[in-house]
Structures are given as structure tokens and as C-alpha cells.
A and B are shown apart, each in its own frame.
Chain A
Amino acid sequence: MNKKLLSITLAAAMTLSMGTMAFADEAEASYENCTLTFDWWGGDTRHQATQDAIAAFEEKYPGIEVQANYGAWDGWESAEALKFNSQKTADVTQINASWINAYDANGETFLDLNTVADTLDFSQWDEDILKMCEDPVGGLASVPVSLTGRVLYFDKTSFDEVGVEIPKTIQDLLDCGDAFGAYDDGYYPLVLGAYDRALFMTQYLSAKYSKPVYENGELMFTEEELQEGVEFIQSLVDHHVIPALDVLDGDGASSTDQNPKWTNGQYAGIYEWDSSFAKYAGALAEGREFVVGDELEEMKAGTFYKVTLSFAISAQSEHPHEAALLINYLLNDPEGIKIMAAERGIPASAIAYETLSEAGLFDEATMEAHTKIFDVATYFLDTAFFDDATLKDVAEGAFQDAFSGIDYGDYEISEAVEILFEALTAVTE
């Protein structure tokens, strides 16, 4: 998606917003009294916002009661998977795009949302974006809540300490690494976990070879190209740009924002989603300046985007119309939009985007990151494959295996490439 696409969406939002209001009134007229279940995961602020929005929804539609079930991410997917498996899917469920392939391959878990098109206003989304949520048998499994991509963020205080500028090109980044290493062996301008490395490599290769990692269900990179990508990541390790994974493991933190080395600026940069600013800024020691960086010049052309989260309705739901009303309220009704704000990322729904922009409800830094990504974003990251557990899982996944194998000295680069190539191919079969 590029600037042009974005402006078209915005224009569409302007013209449609009036229509939507009428649309909502019409739907309001008829619904049954019922109880809906609604499952989501997230952090405390998201829980609060969503609960508030539910309360407002219940007030607007008296007679519909919403039972919320929410928790932290850890263990959440397996719990939901189990519900899907035993026909206990909640009426409305927040899902990851990779879940569609994993749990709705036959289209029997989630309702084809085209059947509630009269309630849920699809005109708020770009058609290409909706396509990302289709299941393998062609039904629309969910509606995207937001889109996101990855961008660099830096702890400027550390860069000032070391005495280098925030990098704009790959060469800058390598120089920064050398400078950081010379300053103090424990200092790095960037920190990447195994999955971050896989994404960074993807962006690098997409820029270089002008193709996404997956297209039409097939892996686009050849083994030789992957080799180049892995070598690129290795050059980052060699230039002291990123810590080797054994060093990172040694910190014993389960994620970067919980790593004391992040808090005190020893790791001075991350490559993260556009919604990550607050989380990482909050984890920094007081007085440190945290900034959104740019996509690196040579990598801009490879910038990718994906559906962050989406909402699905159970195929077994006894009240699909009311469930659709709820989703529409959360994503397309100005009242619900304002309460939900950007708790699930910058909304993909045009009217939501418009409403929040006007109300000034976007966090400035998040917006900056979002804009930097979507100004140049070209490729869709097919997370149905890329986020498959066989690739992404921290314990068993191929990304972890391949990259940490090199760092721990178990694999030659060629062996790691072979593992990556096989695993990336296997998920499409």
C-alpha cells in the first residue's frame, strides 16, 4: 500500500461517513435480545478500552448483553484453538491472520462475513485489505481491525553518548555498529530476536529482488537469495550492530522491553510494529529520548505490511446479526471508535481512521511510525505462512533454530539456509 492508496482510502472515508450514520440507524431498528460472547487478548489498557466500549454498546442496544473473556497473550492461542476445535467458539473472536489457515481451513470455524454484509459496513475497507482475511475456501473469515508494518526505533540518548547519528542507510547502520562496539562491547545500536531477524531479512531481500516473501501461496525467494539474506544478517552480527542470539538468550529476559539492557540503553534500537512505541518507551529508564527512525534507504522498497488483528464471528453463532452489530459498533461507529481509540493499532476502517484523526486521538509517535511505514509499504506479508508455528515458535520454530544455530556455532550459514528454505517451503505445502 502506498501514499496514493492511503489518500484514496481517506477520500472514501470522507464521502462515506455520512452514509454510515444512516446505515447504523437502519441496523439499529431490528435485533433480538441475546447474550454474545466476545474473546480477545491484550494488555490492561486494551482490556479497559474494550470493556468500556462494550458497556457503551450495551447501552446503545439494550437487550444485548456481551460476555467478555480476555487475558494475556501467553497461552491464549492454544486456549482459543481448543474452543474452535470443540465447537465452543465465542460469537466474536479477536484473531491473528495466521489463525485462518490454521483453524478455519475448511471455512467451518468462522462465519463467512459476506452473509452479514447488510449489518457490517464493508465499504470502510479497501477490497485488497479484505482479501487478506479470506479463508482457503473463499469465505470472508474476518474483518481487519488494523494494519501494521515494521520500522526502526532508536534510543537517541545512547546514540548521543556514543557520538553517532541515527542511521539512514545500511552503511550507516554498519558504521554505527562498529562505533558502538568500539565505545563499549556491551553496547549495540539495534537488537533483533530470531523472528525480528527473519522479518528484517525479508524486507532486505524484497527490496533487493522486488518481490514479497510469499505470493499466491508460494515461496518467492530462492535458496541462493535466502543465503544472501542470512549473510546480510550475519554481517550485522559481525559489525556489532546486533547482539548474537546467545548473548541475547543470556540476558534471560523473555522479551526486549523486559531486558534491563534495553532499560539502560545498552541496546539502543529495535525493529518493531508501528504500535510498539509506547511499550518500549515506557520500559526505558527515565530521561532517555526515544525516537522513530526511518526505513533504511536501500530497504524502503521492501517495506511490508500485514493485518495486525481481525475480528471473526463464529460459524455456530446463534446471533450472527447481533455479533456483526457489535463488530460494526467497535470498528465503524464513531462512538465505539472513539472509545476503542488506537488500542489495537491504527484502524484500517476508513471512518475509524478519519474519526480518530479529527478527534486527535492518535498518539503522535505511533502515527509517525505508521506514516513512515505506509508511505513506502509495498508488499503484503502473508502471515498465514510466515507466522506458522513451525517457523515462528520460540522453542521449536525454524527461525530460532537457523539463526541461533549460527550464533551458537552449531550450523554453517549454508546449513542454516537449508533449514530456513525447507521450513519456509514446507508451510505452503
Chain B
Amino acid sequence: MNNTWAKRNTGLLFITPWLIGFLIFKAYPFASSLYFSFTDYNLFKGISTYGFMNYINVFTDSKTLKAMGVTFRFAFMEVPLKLVISLLIAYILNFKIKGVNIFRTAYYVPSILGGSVAIAVLWKALFNNEGLVTRMLNTIGIQNTPKFLTDAGWALFILVLLRVWQFGSTMVIFLAALKGVPTELYESASLDGAGKWRQFFSITVPLITPVIFYNLITQLVQAFQEFNGPFIITNGGPRRATTLMSILIYNNAFKQWDMGLASAQAWVLFIILMIFTAIAFWSQNKWVYYSDEEAR
């Protein structure tokens, strides 16, 4: 009996490390932050009251509301732009292109290095008032260049650009998916006389919708957590124009030590992200096409 029990549970034994890690490092903190979100826990002053005040604050405080808006704007500029560009480039690369490897490498490098602080530093050098981009625009005759990082209208967009510039890894994923589209489909389509663009929209896109969906979800999750760019390049400014929720949470938690408020803000952010993910999953029936039972 002992033997069969062991046999039946060997698998469980193998995943035990993960299970322990999950409970200690993910589940417990996750649950405890829900608890703290209903307190005024300050790391240095402890808890004095319980209640909904943090959540009320989230939905009434102008700083939080603004940060929420900025987060949305960031995500809804960055994700579509990045997906469209990476799909387009992947599509072009999928033709018989000479030197495809060189192009692929060139496009991929920024996304591999992109998360690093060094690249954020580079971005600051590029878009500074006296920076390289300004110099470039002046050279081609555009004077009165905007102050990219200190103009509230531009700063967020510059951070979006940094992320879009790192389209390499989504592109590589698209490229792999495009390679999987059977060439016979294209051949029959071009016999039918369908132009390249029509082929793209009527054959290619439907066939790779699962990958588009995958990229959409992962990019959305990432965009809602963007931290390095606004923290390093603009420090949330000018005038909070780049204070995303992640920055606000960081400031509340690790500068003001207001763990309760920060937890509540994190939870609201999490729930909003879940809603978007749920919408995406729910809508996939309508536009995501799975070729076989692989669909989960």
C-alpha cells in the first residue's frame, strides 16, 4: 500500500518545492496585502484603524485618479502601437528577405537590453532638452522643438516610445507564428488574385490570432506594471504626467511607508488588470481562431 501511495504521489513530491514557494512567496503576501489594504498600516507607526478609508481614498484622491488615468493612457498607447509595429515588421521579414538574420538581430537587441537601467539612461540622453533628438530636429530645420521630457504632453509619449522601441521580442514571437502559416494557403490565395494586403488581413491575421492574443495579454500585464522608465527618466514628472500607478504605489509604500494605502492601490490596479484580462479572454471566442483542440 505504501508503495502505491508513493507511486501515486511521486509527482506531488516533485512539485513540492514550487508549492511551498508559491504558498510562502506568492499566496501569503497576496492574501496579507488584502488584509493590510483595510488598515492604515504604517511601517513605523503600526496600525491604528481599520476600514475602507484607503479604497475611498483611491476613488476620490485626485493624485490617485490622475495616476490611474496616466496608467490607462500609457497602456492604451503602448500595447496597440507595439503590437501593430511588431506584427508589421514580422510580416515583412517573413518574405524572402536577404539578410533576414541581420535585421532580426538589429530589431531584437533593444528588447533584450531594453529593460536595463542603462537604456533608460540612453533615453534620457536622447530626449533631453539639449539631447540628441532635439539636435537632430534642429539639423533638419525644425526649430522650436518641444521639451520632450518636461512638457507634460510629451513626456508620457516618450516613455511609450521607449517601450515600443523594444518591440523585438513580440516580433520574434510573431515571426515564429508566421512561419507556421502553411505556404499553400498563400499560394492558393495569390492564384485567386488576392493582393498582399488582403492576404495579410484575410489569411495571415486570422491564423495567428492565438499568438496575437498571447502577445496582447503579456504586453498588457507588462504595461500596467511599467516602472523603470518613469522612475529613472522622468521620476513621475513633469506635474505627475508620468506618475503611473506603479510609481505612486512605490512612493506611498517606500517613501511615506504607508503600506495600507499602497496595498489598496495595488489591489485596485490588480482588479482593473484582471477585468481587462477577463475581457480579453471572454472576447477571444469572437476573434481568436484555434486550429485544433489545443485551445485551453
Contacts and interface: CB of A to CB of B under 8 A. Distances in A.
Nearest to B252: A396
Interface string B147-166: 10110100000000000000
Interface stretch (B104-112, B195-203, B237-245, B276-284): B237-245
Contact of B43 (A85, A393, A408): A85
A11 interface: no
Contacts of B237: 249, 395
Contact of A396 (B45, B147, B149, B251): B251
Contact of B44 (A102, A396, A405): A102
Contact of A250 (B150, B254, B257): B150
Nearest to A248: B150
Interface in A73-126: 78, 81, 84-85, 102-103, 105
A395 B235 contact: yes
Given A390-B256, A396-B255, A250 B43 contact: no
A44 B39 CA distance: 43
B128 A252 contact: yes
A28 interface: no
A369 B45 CA distance: 39
A85 B43 CA distance: 8
B253 to A, nearest CB: 11
Interface in A386-423: 389-390, 393-396, 404-405, 408, 410
B269 to A, nearest CB: 18
A contact face: mostly helix, strand, loop, or mixed: helix
Contacts of A260: 130
Interface in A246-271: 246, 249-252, 260
Contacts of A102: 44
- Chain A interface bracket (under 10, 10 to 19, 20 to 34, 35 or more): 20 to 34
A85 B44 contact: yes
Contacts of B254: 78
Nearest to A404: B239
B236 interface: yes
Contact of A252 (B43, B129, B152, B251): B129
B238 A395 contact: no
A62 to B, nearest CB: 38
Interface in A50-81: 78, 81
B129 A393 contact: no
A394 B44 CA distance: 22
Contact of B239 (A105, A250, A252, A405): A405
A252 B149 contact: yes
A105 B128 contact: no
Given A249-B237, A252-B128, A252-B129, A408 B152 contact: yes
A389 B257 CA distance: 11
Interface in B227-265: 235-239, 243, 247, 251, 254-257
* Most A C-beta atoms less than 10 A away, residue of B43, B147, B236, B255: B255
Interface of A: 78, 81, 84-85, 102-103, 105, 246, 249-252, 260, 389-390, 393-396, 404-405, 408, 410
Nearest 3 pairs of A and B residues by beta carbon: A249-B150, A250-B150, A250-B147
